[in-house]
Structure 1
Amino acid sequence: MLRLFCLIALFFVTSAQAEVRVLTSIKPLQLIAAAVQDGIGEPEVLLSPGASPHHYALRPSDVRRVRDADLLYWIGPDMEAFLPRVLESRDKPQVAVQDLPGMTLRRFGDSHDEHDHDHDAHEHEHTSADLGHDHDHRPGSLDAHLWLLPANARVIAARMAADLSKLDAANAQRYAANLQAFGQRLDVLDGRIRPQLVALHGKPYFVFHEAFDYFEAAYGLKHAGVFSVLTEVQPGAQHVAAMRERLQQAGPSCLFSEPPLRPRLAETLTAGLPVKLAELDALGGNLPVDASGYERLLENLANGLTECLGSL
């Protein structure tokens, strides 16, 4: 009996050791990791979707998770400004995905991003609930919302599969199969949403946060303007008037905010105008973490755009 007990205990210890602990900084990376680890392990995430990576304050439990994870993936210092200092004391593999070979990176001010920021009508938004709203959006700075380009997700998933296979060689074939299945599902998704997004070309829409350029570039879309507004400070009447003029000139249009908060100014801006208020979620905050989560993130963006713009 004692020998049997020892064998069972050894089995459980071995099983516990076999699962590689993957930690990602934000949920979109967790969704990509979940596709690669499907059936083998479950990746963890450091920040909740409502937390700002720019001003996030790590708790002692967070520091331990960063230290103990076998593999850690983050966007890079242009997104999670709080992480570099903590990572200095980490001795296990860590990957800033913005530095991976093969990534397509955009900078604010790239040719796709030629909407005119009317500085008289432009205030920066800083809210604790807006991921990325408070990092640098100046022309030439990196647009860190790189996960919204499907080609980048493929590069990230391939690196994750390679890293996991090194640490967990027994499951290398499964990681490779999961990676292949992920790519095939993205192909199917692309075939499904591309036609519906083509039908939206030329329809005007505005955003409160410049987060969607990668997705727009992939599908030939382009927002007509960005209205970034301080939630703590109401912009002056001149600013509001200038923003409303932009909306009036556009005619029937959509104005998208991001959950969980809609800027208080939204109703003031759109009152009496043929503008529909809607939401786009760049983070997939409410999505379950499973093998298909990343595709649902993209599909929800496509459906959100279609639902609003298709009704104009």
Structure 2
Amino acid sequence: MLTSRTRSRVIPLTVLALTGLTGLTACGGASAGGSGKTEITASFYPVAWLAGRIGGPDVSVQTLTKPGAEPHDLELTPRQIADVGKADFAVYVKGVQPAVDEAVAKHAKDKSLDAASVVKTLPVPTGGEEEEHEHGHEHEHGHEDAPYDPHIWLDPTRMAAVATKLGDRLAAADSDHASAYRSRAKAVAGELGALDQDYRGGLRACKHKAIVTAHAAFGYLAERYGLQQVSVAGVDPTNEPSPKRLGELTRQIKTTGATTVFTETLVSPKVAQTLAKEAGVKTAVLDPVEGVEKGSPDDYMSIMKKNLETLRPALECS
């Protein structure tokens, strides 16, 4: 497993100077790359999905994080930093990927959307003494610019708000296709609203409320649907808990009556599996939708629907 010490390092400014970064040139459908489409650079999967759905045939979306890669430890190459500057627009979530935050702040500040700036954010989740220590470690290694939980995309209503805002921003950047951007944004927001209703109905009557997750990615989902998140790691999934913290978690599982420890798709399940074995409960996959494997038929909507199907039996919902 990668450790938090493999976090992104800032590329020297001399390298950036040689890349010939350019400013926003999209206007009336023109693009920096000459493709005839508005070129969007997206930091990682959730916002790339949103940009693709709202932009439709009028945009070209490049995602900085490779399919199936864990996004928190992204390191940008000089060419990727150049792409951030050359693109007509950039969309990202500040606080997830420090290297992206740095590149956007320096080279795309006036032609970008930080999705976290659109919605009400939640504080960084905290727990026992050991978890507090881990959060301090994360702060040291890249979360200093985000004193909040950045996992906003796991609440469909917040994603709907971002969809509407992104539609407006793209309409302003590419006036020739303004009505199409706003129309598609409205449709996506409607789909996300329907997803929210599915979650509200599906999780309305549950015997248990605690969800024991591999890392603290599900705070927004928990807040929206009246659940309690108990996380093995903090907001950075690469930090492993100490034996003391695992002992605390085992006691919490027994106290809350949780039936399941949820593992993830992009992070090793070993720690979660060990915890489940110690606590005498089962495991299941709860996907934080941080990335999708190349060639996978799934997208944001289908993964979120699968997550609901996973949660209902684990929480013993009627």
**Same fold by TM-score greater than 0.5:** yes
Distance 1:286 1:51 in 2: 10
CA RMSD of aligned residues (A): 3.7
Match of 1:50 in 2: 69
Where do residues 253-264 of structure 1 align in structure 2 (5 Å cutoff)? 253-264=259-270
* 2:120 is equivalent to residue 104 of structure 1: yes
Contact 1:165–1:172 (CA under 8 A) maintained in structure 2: yes
Percent of aligned pairs with the same residue?
A: 18
Higher helix share: 2
The equivalent of 1:235 in structure 2 is 242
In structure 2, the residue matched to 1:79 is: 96
Corresponding residue SS for 2:41: strand
Matches of 1:232 and 1:284, distance apart in 2: 17
1:32 match: 50
Unmatched tracts of structure 1, length 5 or more:
1-12, 126-130
Is 2:199 the partner of 1:193?
yes
* Structure 2 Cα separation of the partners of residues 195 and 311 of structure 1: 10
Aligned pair in 2 of structure 1 residues 284, 97: CA closer, same or farther (>3 Å)? closer
Alpha-carbon distance in 2 for matches of 1:181, 1:299: 18
Q: How does 1:62-77 map to 2 (within 5 A)?
A: 62-76=80-94
Question: Is contact 1:121-1:242 (8 Å) kept?
Answer: no
Give the 3-state SS of the residue equivalent to 1:177 in structure 2.
Answer: helix
Any idea what SS the aligned residue of 1:178 has?
helix
Distance 1:190 1:269, change over 3 A: closer
Shift in Å, 1:211: 0.8
Larger Rg: 1
- The 8 Å contact of residues 23 and 66 in structure 1, kept in 2 or not, is answered as yes
Q: Distance in 2 between matches of 1:104 and 1:272?
A: 37
1:16 deviation in Å? Answer: 5.3
Which amino acid is the alignment partner of residue 27 of structure 1? Answer: Y
Query: Residues 123 and 264 (structure 1 numbering): CA distance in 2 closer, same or farther, change over 3 Å?
Result: farther
Q: Give the distance between the partners of 1:289 and 1:186, measured in 2 at CA.
A: 24
The one-letter code of the counterpart of 1:57 is E
How many equivalent residue pairs?
279
CA distance in 2 between partners of 1:108 and 1:201 (Å): 27
Give the Cα–Cα distance (whole angstroms) in 1 for the partners of residues 154 and 78 of structure 2: 31
For 1:201 and 1:31, how far apart are their aligned partners in 2? Answer: 34
Cα displacement (A) at 1:284: 5.0
Deviations 1:19-59 (A, max 9, x none): 10111111111111122112433422111352343x43211
> Aligned pair in 2 of structure 1 residues 307, 61: CA closer, same or farther (>3 Å)?
farther
In structure 2, distance between residues paired with 1:36 and 1:233: 37
| Alpha carbons 1:204, 1:253 under 8 Å: kept | no
Q: Gaps (5+ residues) in structure 2?
A: 1-30
Which residue number corresponds to residue 283 of structure 2? 277
1:174 to 174, 177, 180: 180
The change in CA–CA distance for 1:287 and 1:175 in structure 2 (over 3 A counts) is: farther
1:73 alignment partner AA: V
Q: Which residue number in structure 2 is paired with residue 3 of structure 1? A: none
The 3 A distance-change label for structure 1 pair 255 and 75 is: same
